Structure 1
């Protein structure tokens, strides 16, 4: 990274001259993430990876647009600082936002939560409450009308994800096609479109590390669009520590006390009560989310099979995709193992 070019850009945009310090950070999903200190300010810089294709390269600008639109709204997001689409500086677009002093929940949980298990329910309740806030945004009023194609969103999903699966050129996965047919045949009317995160889960939000758990910010908006809010809800529940098919916060040095957490059904009920939405069709969304999750995992597994990924974990994504498809099929059939 050319820190001199970055410093000059910031000086030009922000109207003063301050020294900067930049350090790579872990996490960030598909983007490269850096801590950025400038004078007394502490920020985060997110940029598209250098090998990104054109559409991926502009995901960071999409994120910035969403954060900027949400500034002042009743949604917990980092404050955006500045964005840059001039590829002469880094070769890829980037943006800068405030640094939130919080952590995601991936493998384990903060030690303070482990020491106060009776408060842990707040972590998942806050997750639901913050999602209700996201879905309550008047996306037209904040200037996000053209963020996505709201009309026909749910109708497009099966075709969109089967096309994604076909693009891998890997395993055929007949179960994925069979479940796709079921999803099309049983698709509900859907919900009124809302601002849609697209990858909402415990490790795409940041929590304070003290107890009781407090959700500070929703991050990683590169999949954000206008869509059906119940997909966000069902996707989050795949990762629910209690009964989720890919549970988070259950394998670190400090883990959730599962008997202290509400069930997935209780979380759906909380969402319904606080959002006022009809969730009677949620089982369809549970099937869809497991099916979609399998297709997402299969993409990384296909790369590993072709020798295009050196991440050892991707070898296990194929079997994990198979388990998600089995879970989706069991939910369709009402068998044990299909419950959210």
Structure 2
């Protein structure tokens, strides 16, 4: 039986009071929102404060603490930018308070595209309102790429120099460590990526797992992005890889294939139209998008293969097995049919 995680609200209240956070001295309400093996999220209410608390679970690896600090740095740095994000309220690095480092962020009054039973009103019935959902999602990538990350104090968050030179060596080494089976198409996609680079590279903040699952929208139409969330893979790298990550499985014909993913894309623009939307909004060229989409498919296949190799009797991780094969085959197929040269 799974036990719902809890918090020591007395210790949390003491820390909040010492930190001078809103709601000082008042009673606290705490409720668990989500989490498990990944970070736990709780809703905190105290006086006029409504916040979300995010922390690693008690048994998580120590490296997860570094991820929490990384998330905090990013949302704190985004304050005052046009990027929709949660408000950074307070960070606690003292594990003696709640057992692990944690941070408080503003509670988003909005909705998530996943976890429900389809799109909420009016997007469930009004197909004419759905293009805005996709365009706002792409707009998030545009806005991230426009942030002056050095001015925001993120100069040491990642290593943008040589970012693309490291991708193939890093992930092939990772795959060699976890390899448990052959992945058809792996050699072909790896060779193609090793021989190519983007036409240009403008470093910026990248989310690392940018998709509908990691954003929230304001209620009602027209579609408006409320916040980009779950920054545990965030870094300073190439924001265009976020676009590639988003577009690599996006159908060209959403009328025919829009229901095949984890959210229904019916009524939304196709892949080419959204890539062109990004180009128009960002002013960036997109002639090298095949490179980013091959890289995204190839990298995601390797990441998910690790989960599959560790699946045991976990049905979710077991389901990664066929998805990995599909992604790697797709990476190899796109590499074989692309006319993108992008030679080093």
**Normalising by structure 2, what TM-score?**
0.88
Q: Distance in 2 between matches of 1:46 and 1:56?
A: 12
Superposed CA deviations along residues 211-235 of structure 1, whole A, max 9, x for unmatched, are 2222111111111111112211010
SS at match of 2:122: helix
Structure 2 residue aligned with 1:311: 314
Match of 1:322 among 320, 325, 338: 325
Q: Which residue of 1 aligns with 2:299?
A: 292
Is 1:263–2:262 an aligned residue pair? no
Aligned equivalent of 2:241: 231
Q: Mark the CA change 1:10 to 1:165 in structure 2 (over 3 Å): closer, same or farther.
A: same
Could you tell me which residue of structure 1 aligns to residue 17 of structure 2? 11
Q: Which runs of 5+ in 1 are unaligned?
A: 336-340
Which shifted more, 159-168 or 290-299? 159-168
2:123 match: secondary structure: helix
Give 1:114's aligned residue: 124
Instruction: Specify the SS of the correspondent of 1:102.
Output: coil
C-alpha distance in structure 2 between counterparts of 1:49 and 1:120, whole Å: 36
CA distance 1:264–1:29, change in 2 (3 Å): farther
Tell me, yes or no, if the aligned pair for 1:195 and 1:227 is still in contact at 8 Å. yes
Q: Name 1:279's counterpart in structure 2.
A: 286
Per mean C-alpha deviation after superposition, the further-off stretch among 318-327 and 13-22 is 13-22
Q: How far apart are the structure 1 equivalents of 2:327 and 2:318?
A: 16
Change (3 A) 1:35 1:239: farther
Match in the other structure for 1:46: 54
Whole-Å separation in 1 of the counterparts to 2:283 and 2:187: 34
SS of the counterpart of 2:310?
helix
- Deviating more after overlay: 144-153 vs 182-191: 182-191
| Change in 2 beyond 3 A, CA 1:278/1:251 | closer
Q: How far 1:41 sits from its partner (Å)?
A: 1.4
Q: Pairwise mapping of residues 193-232 of structure 1 onto structure 2 (< 5 A)? A: 193-232=203-242
The count of residues paired between Structure 1 and Structure 2 equals 326
Contact 1:25 1:33 in 2 (8 A): yes
Distance 1:129 1:40, change over 3 A: same
1:258-291 Cα deviation digits (max 9, x unpaired): 2x21111111111111111111111011111111
CA distance in 1, matches of 2:259, 2:47: 35
CA RMSD of aligned residues (A): 2.3
Describe how 1:133-172 pairs up with structure 2 within 5 A.
133-172=143-182
180-189 vs 211-220, which moves further: 180-189
What does 1:65-84 align with in structure 2 at a 5 Å threshold? 65-84=73-92
1:23/1:36 contact within 8 Å kept: yes
The answer to whether the Cα contact below 8 Å between 2:298 and 2:327 also exists between their aligned partners in 1 is: yes
Q: Residues of 1 paired with 2:110 and 2:237: CA distance?
A: 28
Change (3 A) 1:87 1:189: same
| Deviations 1:31-66, CA, capped at 9 Å, x for gaps | 111111112211111101222223222111111111
Residue of structure 1 equivalent to 2:110: 102
Residue 188 (structure 2) aligns with: 178
For 1:46 and 1:150, locate their aligned partners in 2 and report how far apart those are by CA, in whole Å: 27
Report the equivalent of 1:338: none
